[in-house]
Structure 1
Amino acid sequence: MKATVHHSKKIAQSVVTAILLLFSFYMNAQLKGGHILGAMGLQSGTQAPENTLSVYIPGYIYSASSLRDSNGDKVGNPDITMFITGVGASYVSDFKILGANYGAGILLAGASNTIQGSHTDTKSDFAFTDMYIVPLQLGWHNKRADFVFSYQMYLPTGKYELGASDNSGLGMFMNEFSAGTTVFFNDKKTFHFSVLASYEINGKKKDTDIKTGDILSIEGGLGKTFYSMNAEKTAPKGIFNAGLIYYLQYKVSDDKIPVTNNIFIEPDKDKVAGLGAEVNYLHIKSMTTAGFRWIGEVNAENRFQGNTFFITLAHTFSFKKK
């Protein structure tokens, strides 16, 4: 009888110890959302022209240089570089809803070293990741300003298992709503400022009660458009866009990480800011675009801080009636 009681006490002590260890591990840990910072920059509040289909190949690289605590102080030197690439397409029609052009899009991608949160067990081989779908995008074009509204969702198609170090997805369904504008400071629309706000609502992770908090992301830039003229100086052969870009991201509601059936850990919220540069070029004859973005992060709290690189190659098909 005494042996049974002693054994029960040891089990109880082990459970308490495990809970305390889990609590200390997650107290400053943060769960990542699906929104990819840096995917939007100059003219982020502008929809593509109507009756066009754009097919693109993105290259996203995020290199974490430090881990920051709730005071923004450096507490670690991670060696993590996350990489995403794939094939995407977006279409803008001449169909009108509330005076706006209707558009839609999709991205099928793979990822390596998928970052799940603010801990460092994220090494994984390149594999199919979560699918990104835009079933609704509305765009308005005015003389001095463009506006855009969209709904996008992330489907948990990538591999996910709680505690695994080789996950390629986040294991949760995500809804996101975005709205933004691009303001033009001159009649030729060559000097512009943009802002796009996105609000992400996350579901529970696969086979768990773990839930990532809602996330607000703000992206945009201040840029200038330049035209490259043909030899005869009669028409442009290319269009350059260059300028400063930025992003901000805030965890709006707490992550919920269950320890027992009735106890949830709610770590401190995280945030980050970034400032960088973008340059892109459209070759008009081939309708091919190449773009590059770099953003250096600052003021991170409860998350990694590093550098974001985004390279895009796209081709646009026009279906305008001649």
Structure 2
Amino acid sequence: MKAKINDSEKIAQSVLTIMLLLISFYSNAQLKGAHILGSMGLQSGTQAPENTLSVYIPGYIYSASSLRNSDGDKVGDPNLTMFLTGVGANFVSDFKILGANYGATLLIAGASNTIQGSYIDSKSDFAFTDMYIQPIQLGWHNKRADFVFSYQMFLPTGKYEAGGSDNSGLGMFVNEFSGGTTLFFNDKKTFHFSALASYEINGKKKDTDIKTGDILSIEGGLGKTFYCMNAEKTAPKGILNAGLIYYLQYKLSDDEIPVGNIFVIEPDKDHVNALGAEVNYLHIGSMTNVGFRWLGEVNAKNRFQGNTFFITLAHVFSLKKK
């Protein structure tokens, strides 16, 4: 009889231990949002010129070098690199709304090793990922400052299955609102500082009650514009933009992660800061732009910390009537 009691006690203790480990696992988990940090840098508060169509190919690489806990201490070496690329287009018209030029953006992309959250070290092959659509983009241009406002959506078009190790998407519909400015410190607008704030509202993940908390991202930079003159020094042949860039991201509401019939209360919401550099060059003759950004993350809590690289190749088509 005593042996049966001891066996029952051992089983109960094992179940309790597993439950505690599971709750501990999820209580330190943080879910990733859809916003791609590093996609904006210098002059993030400036819209492209009116009557232009820019077709671009982005190359996004995020290398997670460490996993940080709620105290910012290193607790793991994920050795995980996410890659994203695709084809995008940005259109800016001369149509005015409230004095601003109307524009729109679309990005269709694929990704490998899509990062779902700080608790998943999944590795997946390159596959079609979530689609980015920005149906509303408004831009104002003043003598010493530009302003932008936009609304964008992330559509859950990538593969997603709860608990899957090969997901290429995040499995959730995302609404995001952005607003920002670029301030110019001289009349020629060659010395500038920018900041763009984006607020991300995440829906529930596909076929689950899991919900990522709302996220605030701030991106921008301090830079200088240089005009590269032709041999006769009569006109510029190219425009070079270079400077320091940054981003900050803060989760403002708790993730909702059900374990059984309860929702786990997380100890701290995740956040991260980053500082880096950007250089981009527009060749006026061919209207082709090449850009490169690098940002090193610091002060990460409850998330990965690493390096972000963003390479962009774009061609700008003029839509002005001749």
Q: Specify the TM-score bucket, using the shorter chain as the normaliser.
A: over 0.9
Find the residue that maps to 1:22 and give its secondary structure.
helix
How much does 1:210 deviate?
A: 0.4
Corresponding residue of 1:292: 292
Q: Relative to structure 1, is the Cα distance of residues 162 and 11 closer, same or farther in structure 2, using a 3 angstrom cutoff?
A: farther
Find the residue that maps to 1:19 and give its secondary structure.
helix
Q: What is the TM-score with the length of structure 2 in the denominator?
A: 0.95
* Distance in 2 separating the partners of 1:76 and 1:207: 30
* Distance in 2 separating the partners of 1:207 and 1:12: 31
Q: Relative to structure 1, is the Cα distance of residues 202 and 11 closer, same or farther in structure 2, using a 3 angstrom cutoff?
A: farther
Contact 2:80 2:121 (8 Å CA) reproduced: no
Corresponding residue of 2:264: 265
May I ask how many residue pairs the two structures share in their alignment?
317
Give deviations 1:45-104, integer Å, cap 9, x for gaps: 000011100000000000011111101111111110000000000100111100000000
How much does 1:16 deviate?
A: 4.8
Alignment gaps of 5+ in structure 2? none
Q: Relative to structure 1, is the Cα distance of residues 107 and 7 closer, same or farther in structure 2, using a 3 angstrom cutoff?
A: farther
Contact 2:177 2:198 (8 Å CA) reproduced: yes
Which one-letter code corresponds to 2:164 in the other structure? A
Q: How does 1:52-201 map to 2 (within 5 A)?
A: 52-201=52-201
How much does 1:17 deviate?
A: 4.7
* Distance in 2 separating the partners of 1:75 and 1:203: 29
* Distance in 2 separating the partners of 1:133 and 1:203: 16
CA RMSD, Structure 1 to Structure 2 (Å):
1.8
* Distance in 2 separating the partners of 1:126 and 1:76: 25
Give deviations 1:145-196, integer Å, cap 9, x for gaps: 0000000000000000011100000000000000000000000000000000
Contact 1:59 1:85 (8 Å CA) reproduced: yes
Which one-letter code corresponds to 2:264 in the other structure? I
Q: How does 1:226-265 map to 2 (within 5 A)?
A: 226-261=226-261, 263-265=262-264
Corresponding residue of 2:213: 213
* Distance in 1 separating the partners of 2:171 and 2:21: 24
Find the residue that maps to 2:19 and give its secondary structure.
helix
Q: Which runs of 4+ in 1 moved over 4 A?
A: 5-18
* Distance in 2 separating the partners of 1:101 and 1:289: 22
Contact 1:58 1:85 (8 Å CA) reproduced: yes
Corresponding residue of 2:20: 20
How much does 1:29 deviate?
A: 1.1
- Identity of matched residues, %: 84
Which one-letter code corresponds to 1:106 in the other structure? L
Which one-letter code corresponds to 1:44 in the other structure? S
Which one-letter code corresponds to 1:216 in the other structure? L
* Distance in 2 separating the partners of 1:183 and 1:156: 35
Give deviations 1:272-317, integer Å, cap 9, x for gaps: 0000000000000110000000000000000000000000000010
Find the residue that maps to 1:164 and give its secondary structure.
coil
Contact 2:78 2:121 (8 Å CA) reproduced: no
* Distance in 2 separating the partners of 1:171 and 1:96: 35
Find the residue that maps to 1:197 and give its secondary structure.
strand
Which one-letter code corresponds to 1:74 in the other structure? K
Q: Pick which of 13-22 and 117-126 moved more.
A: 13-22
* Distance in 1 separating the partners of 2:286 and 2:264: 54
Which one-letter code corresponds to 1:221 in the other structure? G
* Distance in 2 separating the partners of 1:140 and 1:239: 22
Alignment gaps of 5+ in structure 1? none
How much does 1:19 deviate?
A: 3.3
Which one-letter code corresponds to 1:315 in the other structure? H
Q: Relative to structure 1, is the Cα distance of residues 217 and 6 closer, same or farther in structure 2, using a 3 angstrom cutoff?
A: same
Find the residue that maps to 1:24 and give its secondary structure.
helix
* Distance in 2 separating the partners of 1:129 and 1:138: 27
How much does 1:22 deviate?
A: 1.9
Q: What is the TM-score with the length of structure 1 in the denominator?
A: 0.95
Contact 2:243 2:279 (8 Å CA) reproduced: yes
Find the residue that maps to 2:24 and give its secondary structure.
helix
Corresponding residue of 2:29: 29
Corresponding residue of 1:279: 279
Contact 1:80 1:120 (8 Å CA) reproduced: no
